[in-house]
Amino acid sequence: MGTAEPQVAAATQPQTIDGFQLVIDALKLNGIDTIYGLPGIPITDLTRRAQAEGLRVLAFRHEQSAGYAASIAGFLTQKPGICLTVSAPGFLNGLNALAHATVNCFPMILVSGSSEREIVDLQQGDYEEMDQLAIAKPVAKAAFRVLHAEDIGIGIARAIRAAVSGRPGGVYLDLPAKLFAQSVEAEAGRRSLIEVVDPAPRQIPAPEAVKRALGLLKGAKKPLIILGKGAAYAQADADIRALVEKTGIPYLPMSMAKGLLPDSHEQCASAARSFVLPGADVVMLIGARLNWLLSHGKGKTWGATRAKDWGGQKFVQVDISPQEADSNVRIDAPVVGDIGSCVSALLAGLGADWPKPPADWLKAVAEKKTANVAKMAETLAMNPSPMNFHSALAVVRDVVKANPDAMLVNEGANALDFTRSIVDMHKPRKRIDVGTWGIMGVGMGYCVAAAAVTKQPVIAIEGDSAFGFSGMEVETICRYQLPVCVVVMNNNGVYKGTDVNPRGGDVAPTVFVKDARYEKLMEAFGGVGVYARTPGELRKGLDDALRSRRPTLINAVIDETAGTESGRITSLNPTAGKKK
Residue 413 interacts with, from ligand ADP, Mg ion, ligand TPW, none (CB under 5-8 Å by kind): ligand TPW
The smaller minimum CB distance to ligand TPW, of residues 16 and 510, is found at: 510
The single residue among 228, 445, 463, 471 that binds ligand ADP, judged by CB under 6 A, is: 228
Out of 153, 463, 471, 529, which residue is the one contacting Mg ion (CB under 5 A)? 463
Among 65, 87, 391, 491, binds Mg ion (CB under 5 A): 491
CB 35 within 8 A of CB 66: no
For 107-151, where are the alpha helices, taking DSSP H only?
Answer: 117-121, 132-136
Rounded-to-integer distance, Cα 157 and Cα 195, Å? 7
170 contributes a contact to ligand ADP by CB under 6 A: no
Candidate segments 287-295, 356-364, 384-392, 457-465, binder of ligand ADP by CB under 6 A: 287-295
3-state secondary structure of 250: coil
Q: Is 104 in the site for ligand ADP (CB under 6 A)?
A: yes
From 404, 527, 383, select the one nearest 456 (Cα to Cα). Answer: 404
Given 3-state DSSP classes, what are the helix, strand and coil percentages for the chain, each rounded to the nearest 5?
A: 45, 15, 40
Question: Could you give the CA distance from residue 77 to residue 32 in angstroms, rounded to a whole number?
Answer: 11
Tell me the number of residues near ligand ADP by CB under 6 A: 24
Residue 261 sits in the site that holds ligand ADP (CB under 6 A)? no
**Are 178 and 118 contacting, i.e. CB atoms less than 8 angstroms apart?**
no
Q: What is the rounded CA–CA span in Å between residue 455 and residue 399?
A: 18
Farthest-apart Cα atoms in the chain, separation = 89
**CA 298, 301, 307, 313 torsion-angle sign:** negative
Q: With contacts defined by CB under 6 A, how many residues of the chain interact with ligand TPW? A: 18
| Stretch near Mg ion under the rule CB under 5 A, chosen from 47-55, 192-200, 215-223, 464-472 | 464-472
Instruction: Say whether residue 443 binds ligand TPW (CB under 6 A).
Output: no
168 or 441: whose CB is closer to ligand ADP? 168
Q: How far is the CB of 517 from ligand TPW (least distance, A)?
A: 16
Instruction: Lay out the sheet containing 108-114: strands in order across.
Output: 56-59, 34-37, 81-85, 108-114, 170-176, 142-145
Segment interacting with ligand ADP, rule: CB under 6 A, options 54-62, 212-220, 289-297, 523-531: 289-297
Rule CB under 6 A: choose which of 289, 369, 431, 550 binds ligand ADP. 289
Tell me how far apart the alpha carbons of residues 462 and 464 are, in angstroms, rounded to a whole number.
Answer: 6
**Residue number with CB closer to ligand TPW (404 or 438):** 438
Query: Which one, of 376, 369, 413, lies nearest residue 274 by Cα?
Result: 369
Choose the contact partner of 338 out of ligand TPW, Mg ion, ligand ADP, none; CB within 5 to 8 A by kind.
ligand ADP
Query: What, of ligand ADP, Mg ion, ligand TPW, none, does residue 63 touch, CB below 5 to 8 Å by kind?
Result: none
Element containing residue 392 per DSSP (H, E): helix 389-402
Separation CA 173–CA 146 (nearest Å): 8
Name the one range near ligand TPW by CB under 6 A: 174-182, 240-248, 345-353, 464-472. 464-472
Contacts with ligand TPW, 399-438, as mask; x by CB under 6 A: -------------xxxx----------------------x
Contact set with ligand ADP (CB under 6 A): 104-105, 167-168, 228-230, 233-234, 254, 256-257, 287-289, 291, 293, 319-321, 324, 338-339, 436
Contact set with Mg ion (CB under 5 A): 463-464, 491
